[in-house]
Copies of this chain bind each other. A is one copy, B any other.
Amino acid sequence: MKELLRTKGFKSTPQRELIFDCFFSLGKHVSVDELYQKVRELDPSVGHSTVWRNLKLICQLGLAEEVNIGDGITRYDRTTPKPHGHFFCRNCKKLLEFDVGSVMGALVEAAHEFEFEPDGYKIEVQGYCSDCRQDDRTNDVATRSANDERKA
């Protein structure tokens, strides 16, 4: 890692190494705060902004990319050799990955038609995972009474 940083012109610092290590030791889809907590376990002196900046750096280095599922929290996903999509459970907030190889062809083709030069794909499918499926869901209704439930 130290090597990669040097060759790219960045300095290696203890904080940076720690943050990088923590990021890669954690699972995927890490938020800044999740990473921050992890880092603090090992070195409570590391600052919030340092974690944030290094997470950005990890993205700049092409080692991860942002994932935005629309809940206001940016997560960071290690880049993988093959692109993948996400199933996002509206209930338990779980994020599952699935292979999108079968849809890439169609996407690339569509892009070609638009003379669009793609360099990133975000395929997010929202719904309910196997644990949270139910038939009498009440949280996507447009009626007044459902509003009140929601607030609770």
Contact = CB atoms under 8 A, between A and B. Distances in A.
Interface of A: 8-10, 60-62, 66, 68-70, 74, 85, 87, 89-90, 96, 98-100, 102-103, 106-107, 109-111, 113-130, 133, 140-147
Nearest to A113: B98
A47 to B, nearest CB: 20
Nearest to A99: B110
B116 A10 contact: no
Nearest to A68: B70
Given A115-B129, A120-B126, 5 more contacts: A9-B146, A102-B110, A116-B127, A116-B130, A121-B126
Please give the count of copies of this chain that the complex contains.
2
A1 B53 CA distance: 48
27 contacts: A9-B144, A9-B146, A60-B142, A68-B70, A70-B122, A85-B107, A87-B118, A90-B119, A96-B114, A98-B114, A99-B110, A100-B106, A103-B103, A103-B106, A106-B106, A110-B125, A115-B130, A117-B133, A118-B125, A118-B126, A119-B126, A120-B125, A121-B124, A121-B126, A122-B123, A122-B124, A123-B123
A117 B111 contact: no
Contacts of A68: 68-70
A99 B120 CA distance: 18
Contacts of A60: 141-142, 147
